[in-house]
A and B are shown apart, each in its own frame.
Chain A
Amino acid sequence: MRVLIVEDDPGIARQIEVTLREAGYAIDLAFDGEEGHFLGDTEPYDVIILDLGLPGIGGLNVLERWRNDGRTMPVLILSARDTWREKVTGLRTGADDYLAKPFEMDELIARVEALVRRDAGHGSPILKCGGVKLDTTSQKAFLGNTLLTLTAMEYRLLSYLMHHQEKVISKTELTEHIYEYNDDRDSNIIEVMISRLRNKIGADYIKTYRGRGYQLTADDDE
């Protein structure tokens, strides 16, 4: 799961970045409206955290442009402006959630998590696929009742697959959602990680469709 943080206050931006990365997200930062808009426009984020009071183009304008251009990713507004008028304006412009500053980091994570799940069509914070269980609140994965030990990248990979289980996902898509903007992207590493994941959760859960991608499925008939 990949999150964009558009926030001009470096202190807050860093805190969110660190916390969310710990929570298993790939994080990109943008410190002004221009950069934020560009990234949101070109990269496939799973959630965008957007501040309103940005230098350059304001947060609302950025959001409006995304929505006008048909970008439908979930956007959470994180703003010091906390009147109802401002909330209504933000949500009517196309935001999916609104959190006022100062905020509790746990609350932010919970809301980001909720947005990701809602977008992928899941209600519960605990995702299940056969015997594989992913608790998005505590960022832990289980096979049956056994806790799985995963690296950060493996967790991201599993998380994305769990959110989009039963769908065939291309290597490119996986790359785009687990790597950060500045990471070196090597699609071969995906293959390596997939095989390591298979070792941990069992080979049957992840199917390979040559030339198309991978599928996480509970259906192990084939």
Chain B
Amino acid sequence: MTLVATGLLIVFLFKGHIERRFDHQLVDHLEELVAASEVNIHNKSVLNWIPADPRFNRPHSGWYWEILSNNEFVHQSNSLLTTRLLPFSGDGSIKAFSQIQGPSNQVLRIHSRIIRLPKNAIPYVFSVAGPVSDINRDIWKFAESIVIVMTILAISLIGIVVLQIRFGLKPLRRVRENLLDIKLGNKNKLPTDFPSEIQPLATDLNALLEYQAALLNRARTQVGNLAHSLKNPMAVLKNELKEIPGEKGLAIRAELDTASQSIDRYLQRARIAGAQNVLGVRADLKSVSEDIIFSLDKLYAKRKLDIHLENLNALILRVDPEDLIELLGNLMDNACKWATSQVKITATRVEDRAVIIIEDDGLGLPAEKYEEIMRRGTRFDETKPGSGLGLDIVAETVELYGGELAFSASKMGGLHVKLVLPLAIG
């Protein structure tokens, strides 16, 4: 828009300039004529020379001159042939510049002046005319080049603007990319090398992220502290209960167990929910399994269980290590509780997932129990002291990672637990 307006303005200004130049040209020619004119002794006007411009000699070229005296022409340019330039006007009033219809239907701009030559009383009317089309032609030519120039200018301006936006907004795009990284868990804060216009924003965002992380951490720590601080009095109460005999004791014990399970459940859930935020996570199945087996060997030392791993090499799971150790720890612990002498853990890669099988040679469970054990609050065996979470939370965690958990009967005799978890990419 601005460019079009600017173009029009320039053309308009140019037009004025061209017209003025044209007029000057006419004035120059007229003054030359006047200079050439002389009144001779017969009181006749004579021209000492004829204007040299060839256009005045070409017939109907559009360039004409004429000298009138008493409304009769005294001299005229050859280009006029015999036609007259100025119409006969009786009143003798003459405009300095005007527009007339000339020979060959040309629109002419004419400059006329009344001159009294020395030694002669009669005024002469000198006129010089040139074609308006010349002016228009010049203007059009100019307008054409203006359009070209303006178009080039417009294109380059648009290009520059696009580039400017692209480069100018590049830091903002980087902010967006980094925020995405943070959301994916690959980073925990924005870099600090943004241009000075963006850096305060990045710094503020970082502060906000830190604040949020601190808040989350504090909430999680508080939940943990609350749960842990409740465990000591719970333990004391549980043991004191033995002193209370009969129904009353049993009732209190049941309530206490419920409370104790709730604490475990929500503590566990708070932990899992924490790890869920981090998506760029990976855990080495083998090293986590070895850690658990090291522990189980000690915890079940008196039972001399044979716990062995097969094919766990180089399986990196897209699971938070803390979540994985809880999942496997609980499933393997359950297997150990039930095993007679053997627990076997195998894993295979199936496309982009790892299929982990945990089997024992215990008594197993009847098929109709499979559903039940995954339900809230139930453990494999209420009489054996539970360690950690119930299977419902195991199932919940697996679901959170888009995995699978299935039970069936093992060839070894006991329970066959199939756990499917996503592998990390690359």
Contacts and interface: CB of A to CB of B under 8 A. Distances in A.
Interface stretch (B76-84, B121-129, B185-193, B287-295): B287-295
A130 interface: no
Contact of A12 (B227, B236, B264, B302): B236
Contacts of A104: 238, 385
Nearest to A51: B232
B388 interface: yes
B205 interface: no
A80, A84, A97: residue with the most chain B Cβ atoms closer than 10 Å = A84
A103 B271 contact: no
Given A15-B236, A96-B298, A102-B238, A82 B388 contact: yes
A107 B294 CA distance: 21
A88 B232 contact: no
A81 B228 contact: yes
Contact of B329 (A12, A80, A87): A87
A105 interface: yes
Nearest to B332: A84
B231 A84 contact: no
Query: Main SS of the interface on chain B?
Result: helix
A88, A102, A114: residue with the most chain B Cβ atoms closer than 10 Å = A102
A44 interface: no
B299 interface: yes
Nearest to A8: B232
Interface string B146-186: 00000000000000000000000000000000000000000
Contact size range, A: 20 to 34
B388 A97 contact: no
A95 B295 CA distance: 10
A82 B393 CA distance: 15
Given A84-B329, A98-B299, A100-B388, A91 B294 contact: yes
A96 B362 CA distance: 25
A196 to B, nearest CB: 32
B277 interface: no
Contacts of A58: none
Contact of A102 (B235, B291, B292): B235
Contacts, number: 90
A92 interface: yes
A81 B232 CA distance: 11
A213 interface: no
B89 interface: no
B233 A80 contact: no
A85 B235 contact: no
Contacts of A87: 295, 299, 329, 387
A217 interface: no
B232 A101 contact: yes
A164 to B, nearest CB: 19
A9 interface: yes
Contacts of B301: 96-97, 114, 118
A83 B321 CA distance: 12
B284 interface: no
Contacts of A80: 227-229, 231-232
B295 A91 contact: yes
B308 interface: no
A114 B295 contact: no
Contacts of A88: 291-292, 294-295, 325
Nearest to B388: A82
Contacts of B298: 91, 95-98
Given A19-B239, A83-B322, A102-B231, 18 more contacts: A12-B235, A15-B235, A80-B231, A81-B228, A83-B271, A83-B325, A84-B292, A84-B326, A87-B387, A88-B292, A91-B295, A91-B298, A98-B298, A98-B299, A104-B238, A105-B239, A114-B302, A123-B302
27 contacts: A11-B236, A15-B235, A19-B239, A80-B227, A80-B231, A82-B388, A83-B271, A84-B295, A84-B330, A84-B388, A88-B295, A88-B325, A91-B294, A91-B299, A92-B294, A92-B295, A97-B299, A100-B387, A101-B231, A101-B232, A102-B234, A102-B235, A102-B238, A104-B238, A104-B385, A107-B385, A123-B302
